Amino acid sequence: MSARRLPEDSFERYVALGEERSYALLAERLGVSKRAVTKRASKEGWAERLARIEHAARERSDERMVDAISEMHERHLATIRAMNMRALAALKEYPLASGMEAVKAAEIAIKLERLVAGEASERAVIDVAAVTREEMQRLLTVAPVQAGGGGGENGEPMPGDGQDW
């Protein structure tokens, strides 16, 4: 089984094997020795070539995903704009008392538009010091001692409850 018997499209067949790809499998499928496949692969730089192909395929796949996400954002923005236009038209057409649905629709459209643009729809400021104080008060609250013994399990005395233990 010589290297001459390997078809010209051996590399393409090797790539087409997919996840189960190996020189041994290709040799078996082509009816040649593994040594002949390994020799050709080394001579033609199959490993490097395959690495370049896989890298290019990943880049193209990433580009398609970016395009798909971009198109999704554009569709969402178009939907939000349509909601906003209908809400504005309803606000102009109906008196305020009967146009509350339009007001709600406008509010939702504005929040969604801000969210898609990367802004928070509602601004919330957290005061770390206030949260810390509240947590400390909650955690350090003294629980009342129940009648009939100490504050421990099964009425056992606890340190500082005036009982010897």
130-146: pLDDT as tens digits: 777 777 777 776 666 66
Closest CA to 107 of 88, 89, 123: 88
pTM of the model: 0.47
> CB–CB of 119/125 below 8 Å?
no
Closest CA to 40 of 29, 51, 21, 27: 27
CB atoms within 10 A of CB 158: 14
pLDDT for 161 equals: 56
Quick one: tokens of 129? 């010091």
pLDDT for 6 equals: 92
Ordered DSSP codes for the chain = --GGGS-TTHHHHHHHTGGG--HHHHHHHHTS-HHHHHHHHHHHTHHHHHHHHHHHHHHHHHHHHHHHHHHHHHHHHHHHHHHHHHHHHHHHHS-GGG-HHHHHHHHHHHHHHHHHTT--SS-----HHHHHHHHHHHHTPPPPPPSSS-SSGGG---TTSS---
Stronger pLDDT, 148 or 85, i.e. the higher one: 85
Confidence of residue 26 (pLDDT cuts 50, 70, 90): very high
- Which of 58-62, 109-113, 121-125, 160-164 has the lowest average pLDDT? 121-125
Q: Where are the domains of the chain?
A: 3-44, 59-116
> CB–CB of 13/44 below 8 Å?
no
Torsion of CA 117, 118, 121, 123, to 10 degrees: -140
